Structure 1
Amino acid sequence: MVNSYVCFDLETTGLSPEKDEIIEIGAVKVEEGKVIERFSRFVKPDQPISPMVTALTGISNDMVADAGPTDQTIYDFLYFCGEYPVVGHNLMFDYRFTYRYAKKYYMDFQKEGLDTLKIARKVLPDLPSKSLENLCSHYGIVNSSAHRAYHDALATAKLYQTLKYYFGTSEEKLFTAAPLVWKQKKIQPATKRQKEYLKELAKYHKIDINSDLETLTRSEASRMIDKILFQHGRMERQRGSWPVKK
């Protein structure tokens, strides 16, 4: 049964570990049920934080503007985790993002862990919602600032301790750490035709793409094409070619 661990949570710009970005990391280190160390850092994303994400998390572009170098933040967080198993609510969501960032900066994040969401699904099957907010409400756990990484990490640690108190003896296997396994999807570069089409669209509509076409992935190029077509419309075809608008 895991009694010492690092419980962590991320705030991100979206749900995809392949294309979205971390904007905040929060964690607590717990030994024998007591918090002994805390971690809280902003991460500045490459793309601006959207108003929707700011509305959900309360994190604005101004708040992350002075965040330190991302590679140093990731290194510091991995050092904070050390050899401890990790705990999280819907843990694989946060693990995937962290694993991808670690790999990007040539670091390792192979961990064992426990997911309070999986535990709750087993021991509280009749509870309508297994969200962190609802589980905290169910057990009277106060989360003073939901959707902020550190506060959600602390609330999750309290939730884990509560679940272990009530079910640790009868469901001991649920409180044993297991290896976390995730294989990152292979990133496919944009096709030659996608890059040519983007150049044609930019020339036709007289717009700047503001991206290095050679570094785009296939999905990024597809989204960019869709955005241009939505905002500016299609090109009118004349005699089998794409004419430049005058």
Structure 2
Amino acid sequence: MKPSDDFQAPGLELFQFPPLWPGAPYWLTKPTLMAGVGALLVCVLLWAAFAHPRLVPRGLQNIAEMGYVFVRDQAARPFLGKDADRWMGLLLSIFLLSWIWNLMGVIPLVQLPVSSFLAYPAVIAFTVYVVKIYVGVRAQGARGYVGNLIPRGLPKLTYVLLIPLELLQNFVTSLFTHMLRLAANMFAGHVILAFFSAVGFWFLFERPTLLGVPLGALGVLMAIVMTGFEMFIQFLQAYLFVLLTAMFIGSSLNPEH
């Protein structure tokens, strides 16, 4: 058997896309298009749900209000308290956008989780980072904001190590943790789904053999199971993404918490 006839597991080529047409800008690729579609979809859904709200919600408004209540009660209020409602527009939009970007990984014909490309969650995470610092300085003053990052009442020698670590965590690693958590999980999930799908297709259709067909059937079964599991992870990661957003903003507004 020639090497070209061997099964090749999918790899980084899953995330490499040329421009949409010859001569198009290098950045105008399928992920860019899907990111824009996702943002437009969020705007359309929220407009359709809340442009003419009813006292007794029905249809899309009812579904949207369920999402609103979920984000408000599970992310905003625990960290923002009385300020939760002021930030719900931002938080709900981030939750829906990241969730839709994630779900694109299991939508037929699209099958591309936009969030697995680091640049897209990075834009949101950096925006949250700027907002966090801005509201912290505005609420506490620059000196108070930086000063309140450091716990008080500890032995003096502790601060030699603690101060650099706290500043590093708040001004550097929090940004990267925010965006990498989402991107890494979506990247790994997409590769896993692609692997099991490729196993099923290869051993059932490309190179069916007596021993290979059961392996291909197992690959298809695992692809189905992992798709269901991945949809749960997609929701969970969108929730954690907006939870961290609320936590960062809340810590700047209410340092005592």
TM superposition score category, shorter chain reference: under 0.3
Q: Which has the higher helix share?
A: 2
Higher RCO (CA-CA < 8 Å; seq separation 6+) = 2
- TM-score by length of structure 2 reads 0.22
Q: Which has the higher strand share?
A: 1
- TM-score by length of structure 1 reads 0.23
